[in-house]
Structure 1
Amino acid sequence: MSRTNRSDDSQVHDLLGIGFGPSNLALAIAIREATAGPGRIDSAVFLERQPSFGWHRGMLLDDATMQVSFLKDLVTLRNPTSEFSFLCYLQSRGRLIDFINHKNLFPSRVEFHDYLEWAAAQVDDMIRYGHDVVDVRPVWQDGELDHFEVLAQTGPCSAAPVSYRARNLVLGVGLRPYLPEGVTLDTRVWHSRDLLPNLRGLVPSAPSRFVVVGAGQSAAEAVDHLHREFPTAEVCAVFSRYGYSPADDSAFANRIFDPGAVQEFFTAPPEVKAMMLAYHGNTNYSVVDQELIDELYRRVYQEKVRGIERLRILNLSRPVETVRTPDGVRMVVESLVTNEKMVLDADVAVFATGYRPVDPFDLLGETAQVCLRDEAGRALVDRDYRLRTLPEVRAGIYLQGGGTEHSHGISSSLLSNTAVRAAEILDSIAAHAATVDAVTPMDRQPEYAAPGV
């Protein structure tokens, strides 16, 4: 067994969250507000690899707005009277009346990020920043998995990780940036996640050409930002569609994000689940706000009128090769219609190619052996977001913020149900704790060696 250090608090926590984005932030707030009653958690800690709270900082563009209403904040759908609501945040910042006069349901992304930071600061005592979880180990007791030992790196890799113990884990590690096969990030090849910090360090400061790959909201926002901020640079948008597709944000379609839709999706047969995802993918995936589509088209047209075309739309195309050069990057773009190839030499290539869920089993290590999977190898997840495990497992593992789209639907990694999901997870932990307390002797001691499972 490798060398480890006990954390300053060696107790067995009721709950340990891995990752601290909006999902686990909403859970921390729900814990703080459940000061009494069956949902109360006596001891909780959250481990986050970042040195401070941050959520998609690289895309906090000045003109970018949220795509969900401010009422779908961290708490309102769970507790409309919460002191952690977006409206309470506005009041604390002295902008409540100004926001009301603005007549807008969708705050800027910069403002909503400030709200998240404001909320995170109020539960700071539960968070351990700078903790990168490297292993999760089962702790067995009388033949049952009683709790987990979580190891986190807090310094150089050569240093011993610190250890925390908990009866329940909540994995809120979010999504992982996706890149096409063969593409490697470096100082001139970026994922859109890192757009703003990479632009701040870009040399030369007056680039001549950018290439942006992708057809979704992040891609369109990157194209828009680069075209505005670098008035002498050419911006080439490369995507396989004929044009940007508008997001369906109509009232009826948006019901797919309602809390009740999660129950309907969960109980639906597999073929209906697939149908729902196919029908309503255009509410979220690879789609763009209509207003931004119109703005980009306006610029393309005006440039044609003036005879100076800086914004180039390379539709029905795909990148087939991306190679670093001494001065930037060379991308070979192939037409899907004619198979003709075009070579683009650019200062920077930005891949706005989206994200993929983090595989929870990669994070769980040895503990993954006690988790059950479906025929496709995916985690089997109950309605309360608890992973299904072998019968001898008493401790709980919960997923939120990703990894449950196949079981709970399209809103799994989105903000829409964050507040409600936090309450459901807390209720589940409380219910399981009550069951265990009713049958568990109080004098058993843990064993750190697992039986063969």
Structure 2
Amino acid sequence: MAHRNVELLAVGAGPANLALAVAVEELAPELAGDTLLIEREQDIVWQRGMLLPDALSQVSFLKDLVTMRNPCSRFSFVNFLHSQERLDAFVNLASFVPYRSEISEYLQWVADELAAVQVEYGRECTAVEAQTGDDGEIAGWLVTLADGDTIGCRYLVIGAGRDAHVPAVFDGLPAERVIHSTQYTQRIADVRADLPHRVAVIGGAQSAAELFGAALRDLPECKPTMIMRSIGLNGYESSKFTNELYYTSFIDEFYDASPEARRQLLGEMYRSNYGGLSPPPWTASTGSSTRTAAPGRSAWRSTR
């Protein structure tokens, strides 16, 4: 067991903490050298269980980790494509949305490109304990890792993502009969594809729609059925007025709002990113707008 101290510790190398790491490196170089980002996996994969071949991102490539804050940053998605000699190919797609696999590659590239912020893999956080000073106020944090090592820090940021939720009604079923969306790509290969399975897809949002299509592709003899609480599939709320809630200028408004107002705002924003389907991408064509998808690709798109 070993112990060390850092000024800033970020747990989880997802988009939020990677964006934080880039901001620290660009805006506070003196802090960046004393910042550590830990990830429990051995690499960075976005939506590991849902890296389906036809899944597209929900948002524009301009809403990457940095462009809205610093359009000149070397950590932009455009610079990632340029570094991989794929910028021409992406531009010729005539689409604002990349594939989910491209976003996943971009996140790993950003982590590899960090010069001052340290990134360590295979480091799982198992416990967090507040450290108090002589005045009784919190002065820092002590983080325990799965291997017994400890890390002390003044600032702690948790970006571990969400845990998979499997309704209790399925507790009695054999584990091999239930596959959560976060485990789909890892486990579907264990299911025989030559049998006429009856597949129930639980849910009516984007992930469920994608899994319905994936089941048809991966289990060609199956008969999938979608089971949902609503009377049908619904699309996201994607109007200009709703998306203004994601403007960088809205951060200060949200921060200054009362707790009651914040709860209402978060409740209203839910419809813009969860519980629905994302529409197909729009591309300009001869002065008009047409909805298109890449050849052979599904028009359904991912939730992140």
TM-score normalised by the shorter chain: which range applies?
A: 0.7 to 0.9
1:6 corresponds in structure 2 to 2
2: CA distance, partners of 1:188 / 1:119: 37
Counterpart residue number, 1:354 = none
Q: Does 1:111 align with 2:95?
A: no
Aligned mates of 1:128, 1:283 — CA distance in 2: 34
Aligned residue in 2 for 1:153: 146
Find out whether 1:181 has 2:168 as its counterpart: yes
Match of 1:45, SS state, is: strand
Task: Determine the structure 2 residue equivalent to 1:208.
Answer: 197
Match of 1:393 in 2: none
Q: Give the secondary structure class of the aligned counterpart of 1:134.
A: strand
- Alignment partner for residue 158 of structure 2, among 157, 171, 189? 171
Q: How many residue pairs get matched? A: 281
Q: Do residues 241 (structure 1) and 234 (structure 2) align? A: no
Aligned position for 2:26: 33
Relative to 1, partners in 2 of residues 1:106 and 1:243: Cα closer, same or farther, differing over 3 Å? same
* Pair 20,61 (structure 1): closer, same or farther in 2 beyond 3 Å: same
Name the amino acid aligned to 2:52: L
Cα pair 2:201 2:208 within 8 Å, conserved: yes
Change (3 A) 1:290 1:149: closer
**Percent identity between the aligned chains?**
32
Shift of 1:271: 5.2
Q: Distance in 1 between matches of 2:84 and 2:162?
A: 31
2:126 corresponds to which of 134, 155, 180 = 134
Partner amino acid, structure 2, of 1:133: C
Distance 1:49 1:66, change over 3 A: same
Q: Which residue of 2 aligns with 1:306?
A: none
CA distance 1:245–1:14, change in 2 (3 Å): same
Deviation (angstroms), 1:210: 1.1
Structure 2 CA distance for partners of 1:231 and 1:42, relative to 1, 3 Å: closer
1:88 pairs with 2:79? yes
Deviations 1:82-127 (A, max 9, x none): 1111000000111112211211111111111111111122238712
Q: Using the TM superposition, give the Cα deviation of residue 24 of structure 1 relative to its aligned residue in structure 2, in angstroms.
A: 1.0
Deviation at 1:261, TM superposition (A): 2.6
Corresponding position: 1:75 with 2:66: yes
Evaluate the alpha carbon distance shift between residue 280 and residue 169 of structure 1 in structure 2; reply closer, same or farther with a 3 A threshold. Answer: closer
Residue pair 2:193, 2:221 contacting (<8 A) in 1 also: no
Matches within 5 A, 1:13-412: 13-34=6-27, 36=29, 40-123=31-114, 126-144=118-136, 145-154=138-147, 161-184=148-171, 186-203=175-192, 205-269=194-258, 272-291=261-280
> What secondary structure, in the 3-state scheme, does the structure 1 residue paired with 2:240 have?
coil
Q: 1:17 to 1:236 in 2, by over 3 A?
A: same
Alignment of 1:413-428 (within 5 A): none
1:253, CA displacement in angstroms?
2.1
Residue pair 1:177, 1:191 contacting (<8 A) in 2 also:
yes
Distance 1:274 1:236, change over 3 A: same
Gaps of 5+ in 2: 282-290, 293-302
Q: Which amino acid aligns with 2:157?
A: V
TM-score, normalisation: structure 2: 0.83
Letter in 1 for 2:129: R
Preserved contact between residue 14 and residue 41 of structure 1 (Cα < 8 Å): no
Secondary structure at 2:79 match in 1: helix
- For 2:163, give the aligned amino acid: R
Given that 2:194 and 2:221 are in contact with CA atoms closer than 8 Å, whether structure 1 keeps it comes out as no
Q: Structure 2 vs 1, CA of residues 15 and 273 (structure 1 numbering), >3 Å: closer, same or farther?
A: closer
- Contact 2:44/2:104, CA 8 A, preserved across alignment: no
CA distance in 1, matches of 2:141, 2:264: 38
In 2, Cα distance between equivalents of 1:206 and 1:291: 32
Contact 1:215 1:244 in 2 (8 A): yes
**Based on CA coordinates, which of the two structures has the bigger radius of gyration?**
1
Q: Aligned letter for 1:130?
A: G
Contiguous gaps of at least 5 residues in structure 1: 155-160, 296-413, 416-453
Q: 1-side partners of 2:260 and 2:36: how far apart?
A: 39
Separation (CA, whole Å) in 2 of partners of 1:273 and 1:151: 32
CA change 1:42–1:278 in 2 (3 A) is closer
Partner Cα distance (1:275, 1:146) in 2: 32
Give the superposed CA RMSD: 2.6
CA distance in 1, matches of 2:135, 2:224: 62
Change (3 A) 1:29 1:194: same
Between the aligned partners of 1:151 and 1:278, the Cα distance in structure 2 is 34
Q: Which residue identity does 1:6 align to in structure 2?
A: A
